[in-house]
């Protein structure tokens, strides 16, 4: 009987801790680094990216791939800002499940992305860890852009943080 009660306690304790954390805040809930509540940091100037898209006449229903996944800047927080302004931009992250630049190239085609946002400058060190697996193909995509192996026209840049800028490209149609 004692062993049964101890086993029951072991099984019930974790769900009770989660219930307490989520409803009472004791202990304080811990978010995963890439899937949690919005950061208390204002992050980078996401509005500058939206203004860049408008200035460069990116179609309001256009698909824009975002070549960074970080709590300061991502397809999700750009989509949220765009929607809050009543704009119809569709943002997709460049690296969803992509392990290589080739995977990311396939994603660009599959998502019919017409534009690509890349970021350069003094990027945060945590892009390597813990965000590295989310940004793995970015360097390979940038290399392809730089050497013409990803057909694209560089349109404009916008500063988003001290020493960091967004670079907007118009992607040329794949296969033609």
Nearest to 66 by CA among 35, 93, 88, 99: 93
Q: Would you write out the chain's pLDDT as a tens digit for each of its 176 residues? A: 889 988 988 898 888 887 887 777 777 766 555 555 555 566 799 999 999 999 999 998 899 999 999 888 999 889 989 998 999 999 999 988 778 999 999 999 999 999 999 999 999 988 887 778 889 999 999 999 999 999 999 999 999 999 999 999 999 975 43
Q: For residue 57, give every residue at least 6 positions away whose Cβ sits within 8 Å of its Cβ, in sequence order, or none.
A: none
What is the dihedral angle through the alpha carbons of 18, 20, 21, 23, rounded to the nearest 10 degrees? 110
What's residue 42's pLDDT? 67
Contacts of 152 (CB under 8 A, 6+ apart): 116, 145, 169, 170, 171, 172
Instruction: Sheet containing 164-171: give its strands across.
Output: 90-93, 63-66, 115-121, 164-171, 152-161
Q: Tokens for 40?
A: 């208390």
- Identify the helix (H) or strand (E) that includes residue 91: strand 90-93
C-beta separation of 113 from 92 below 8 A: yes
pLDDT at residue number 171: 96
Largest CA distance in the chain: 74
Give SS3 for 163.
coil
Helix (H, G, I), strand (E, B), or coil: what is residue 166? strand
pLDDT for position 174 = 56
pLDDT of residue 125: 87
Contact 167, 157 (CB under 8 A): yes
Q: What pLDDT is recorded for position 33?
A: 55
């Amino acid at each position: 009987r004692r062993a049964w009660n101890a086993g029951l306690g072991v099984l019930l304790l974790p769900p009770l801790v989660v219930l307490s954390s989520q409803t009472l805040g004791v202990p304080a809930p811990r978010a995963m680094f890439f899937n949690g509540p919005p950061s208390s940091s204002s992050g980078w100037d996401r509005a500058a990216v939206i203004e860049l898209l408008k200035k460069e006449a990116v179609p309001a229903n256009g698909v824009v791939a975002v070549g960074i996944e970080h709590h300061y800047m991502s397809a999700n927080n750009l989509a949220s800002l765009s929607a809050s302004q009543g704009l119809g931009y569709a943002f997709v992250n460049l690296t969803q499940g992509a392990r290589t630049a080739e995977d990311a190239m396939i994603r660009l085609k599959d998502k019919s992305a017409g534009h690509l946002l890349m970021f350069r400058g003094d990027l945060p060190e945590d892009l390597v860890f813990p965000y590295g697996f989310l940004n793995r193909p970015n360097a390979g995509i940038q290399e392809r852009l730089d050497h013409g192996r990803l057909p694209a026209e560089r349109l404009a840049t916008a500063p988003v943080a001290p020493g960091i800028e967004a670079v907007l490209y118009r992607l040329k149609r794949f296969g033609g």
